[in-house]
């Protein structure tokens, strides 16, 4: 590199390179600075695919999405198959102990030792005792209320108010003969998996629930 070239680079960069190694180091530094600025300016995003319609499995997508929105992230939830039940106007969801054999039953009231006791209910009891699912649901509702945890309906409303995109799977609607009138009006889109994945592929975090 001759003197004229070095002087030209100094005018362009504000740096007087003594050799090519110095110039490479300066360029690397500038590139790192630009990448850091771009990363800092980018809004993080979260994409969740919700597939289950029970009360216990409704909490994760709504809690994660509303939390992401509170942090200023772009958040969306794609409800497919039984997860679509979570978008109905008439929200009728229950806990399913039979589908969660490791789930402990917790007493929402009584002495401290009783509330901390894990009551593991065998599958044959959970599946054959009449009214057990309703009992488990009532216990879960009382527990969340006692602990100050919002209900599923309240969490869903928080998501809507926070700008979370609630996306319905059109294929599931067609598969199960749903009517759109059955669902909440705040649904952002009615699309298929191909369309949602095209949007979700650029998300920073993708979760399957």
Domains of the chain and CATH, by start: 3-41 (no CATH), 46-94+133-208 (3.40.1260.10)
Lowest mean pLDDT among 38-42, 65-69, 115-119: 115-119
**Under a CB-based contact definition with an 8 Å cutoff, are residues 179 and 21 in contact?**
no
Are 80 and 193 in contact by the 8 Å Cβ rule? The answer is yes
Two tokens, residue 119: 């009551």
The answer to whether the pTM exceeds 0.95 is no
**Among 79-88, 129-138, 151-160, where is mean pLDDT lowest?**
129-138
Going 29 to 30 to 31 to 35, the CA torsion angle's sign is positive
Confidence of residue 42 (pLDDT cuts 50, 70, 90): confident
- Decide which of 63 and 132 is more confident: 63
% of the chain with per-residue pLDDT over 70: 65
Q: What angle do CA 48, 52, 58 make, to 5 degrees?
A: 70
Tally the residues of the chain: 209
């Amino acid at each position: 590199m001759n003197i004229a070239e070095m002087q030209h680079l100094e005018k362009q960069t504000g740096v007087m390179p003594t050799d090519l190694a110095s110039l490479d180091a300066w360029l690397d530094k500038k590139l790192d600075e630009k990448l850091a600025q771009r990363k800092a300016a980018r809004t993080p995003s979260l994409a969740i695919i919700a597939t289950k319609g029970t009360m216990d499995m409704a909490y994760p997508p709504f809690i994660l999405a509303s939390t992401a929105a509170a942090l200023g992230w772009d958040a969306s939830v794609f409800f497919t198959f039984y997860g679509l039940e979570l978008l109905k106007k008439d929200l009728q969801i229950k806990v399913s102990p039979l589908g969660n054999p490791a789930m402990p039953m917790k007493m929402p009231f009584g002495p401290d030792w009783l509330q901390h006791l894990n009551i593991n209910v065998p599958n044959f009891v959970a599946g054959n005792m009449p009214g057990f699912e309703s009992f488990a649901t009532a216990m879960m509702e009382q527990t969340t209320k006692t602990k100050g945890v919002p209900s599923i309906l309240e969490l869903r409303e928080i998501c809507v108010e926070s700008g979370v995109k609630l996306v319905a799977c059109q294929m599931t609607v067609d598969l199960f003969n749903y009517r759109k009138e059955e669902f909440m009006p705040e649904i952002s889109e009615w699309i298929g998996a191909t369309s949602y994945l095209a949007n979700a592929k650029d998300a920073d975090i993708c979760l399957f629930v």
